[in-house]
Structure 1
């Protein structure tokens, strides 16, 4: 009897330490809202999951239909499942423009959002850097962090992204060529590469923290995600993912760790928390390659110029 009990105890412990024992959770975050050229929001309505968006108010003024664009942003903010964040007005790169110009860009990016947040009883407390560029050195990093803290912003990290902006550029190129076959190939390749990256960062998370962590996925408001984000969400559901709010994801204690990365490149926070440059380099070289889409992207850029 004791041997049987011990066997059950061993099986129970193995279940507890299994990477998939409790399933994974992820917060979906979308940058560069609103894109007035597509209708991603209508697709999100049907998904019934929490979403966090990061707003570039400057997009509202990039066409003559300012009132219509304002209404589009309001439609995003009024949705009960949407959490809102600031992504600056002009999507400027902090390491290039410097602290003073960047502060202005941050403040300018709140003029409409704060008004609408108040109207719909929401708070504008999250901030994400354009290009995830936190500054070119530790001095710039500290300057802007202190400023954002003084404004009661929460700097919003991410653990997984899949250069969807690059896939989108190629996807839109093929759509303009009326080449739906190749457009669909790119869309499906985006989904598959993203799933590879989820698997990769899941493993890093479990190897480093011995449990499933709350992931944060970064993507953009673009045509590609209008057509393929629902496909990706469905695939993640098949992987038993639970979709959680950004607020809940950030309660995972991993996000209280120190960001040890003091350069301008927008790498995953899974890398930023590392203490060793050697480990960072080693893990980055193991990351699923995006060389194929990069090559296609550069070729389509050249074709577009000719």
Structure 2
């Protein structure tokens, strides 16, 4: 065979190879914490309603399945349930979204202990359970505040068993992020009269930085999934009910879709067998479940390198020292 013939045969072989063989199946479920509104006490009542309505409109326009997680204490003022705030939850259900339990007061399991945490779970469904019953639904998902699920295997199992006995499954997070820092910064700029002259420019800068940051986090955890599991895990994305997502959620979803992601229900994502892996984390904080599984396999420190960070200028605007 001549050189020309060999080259032609090689080119024909390349043409015959499937073009999408290495394309991952990118799926993701959206979860939104701290309903009816994160940092609710920092927003005047008229502004709260307008911002809430804007968020619901953005979520509906994006047209993706969502589970929102409720802190029932935020429904109250001086211990009395506010009908307007309960109506905010009805808006989520009317939009076709699902609601889950995020404890009554956003309690930290590591601080309050198992017994008090169990009571927080029960108190976190006093309004939620009858409200969802009117829609023919029941709360099925539970999200740990701060993603802190227990400091020992026994503590973790005690909570999981208690949740199962009340019809709940834990909703993990794989795409963890510093969205809350960007949201703090965004709300601070919106609420600060001293920033009136620079407000619009700062808000635009935050929006234009936030979406790429979140998509970089998505890229990072996809790579982590490929490295740990050998495939693209159906991810679970963590966000919060706030002004930033009211203004940016549609752009964020569009950016993920451009990367090839399909938005799926939390039920579909959780069917992946990886979610049955042991949680290997017993530390103080609340990392991604991908990293918990990596810890169970005793991955070296280098495995976790390269995660995108919130820029210092955003930390400064948020008034926090770190993510």
TM-score by length of 1: 0.88
| Residue of structure 2 in register with 1:286 after alignment | 306
> Quick check: which has more Rg, 1 or 2?
2
The structure-2 alpha-carbon separation of the partners of 1:66 and 1:124, relative to structure 1 and needing over 3 Å to count, comes to: same
CA–CA separation in structure 2 for the residues paired with 1:65 and 1:122: 21
| Residue of structure 2 in register with 1:7 after alignment | 13
Instruction: Pick the aligned partner of 2:123 from 108, 113, 117.
Output: 108
CA–CA separation in structure 1 for the residues paired with 2:307 and 2:210: 15
| Residue of structure 2 in register with 1:273 after alignment | 293
Instruction: Pick the aligned partner of 1:131 from 128, 146, 153.
Output: 146
| Residue of structure 2 in register with 1:198 after alignment | 218
Q: Report deviation, 1:77.
A: 2.1
| Residue of structure 2 in register with 1:142 after alignment | 157
CA–CA separation in structure 2 for the residues paired with 1:202 and 1:10: 28
Gaps of 5+ in 1: none
Q: Report deviation, 1:152.
A: 2.7
Correspondences of 1:124-273 after superposition (within 5 Å): 124-175=139-190, 176=192, 177-178=195-196, 179-273=199-293
The list of structure 1 runs, each at least 4 consecutive aligned residues, that deviate by more than 4 angstroms after superposition, is: 3-6
Instruction: Pick the aligned partner of 1:70 from 86, 97, 104.
Output: 86
* Count of residue pairs brought into register by the alignment: 294
Q: Report deviation, 1:231.
A: 1.2
Q: Report deviation, 1:295.
A: 3.9
CA–CA separation in structure 2 for the residues paired with 1:109 and 1:65: 13
Q: Report deviation, 1:66.
A: 0.7
2:34 maps to 1:32: yes
Per mean C-alpha deviation after superposition, the further-off stretch among 214-223 and 235-244 is 235-244
Q: Report deviation, 1:151.
A: 2.1
SS at the partner of 2:308? coil
Q: Report deviation, 1:210.
A: 2.5
| Residue of structure 2 in register with 1:117 after alignment | 132
The structure-2 alpha-carbon separation of the partners of 1:301 and 1:108, relative to structure 1 and needing over 3 Å to count, comes to: same
Do the aligned partners of 1:134 and 1:264 also contact (CA within 8 Å) in 2? no
Gaps of 5+ in 2: 1-8, 41-47
CA–CA separation in structure 2 for the residues paired with 1:208 and 1:277: 11
SS at the partner of 2:62? coil
CA–CA separation in structure 1 for the residues paired with 2:81 and 2:98: 25
The structure-2 alpha-carbon separation of the partners of 1:285 and 1:294, relative to structure 1 and needing over 3 Å to count, comes to: farther
Q: Report deviation, 1:241.
A: 1.3
Per mean C-alpha deviation after superposition, the further-off stretch among 118-127 and 215-224 is 118-127
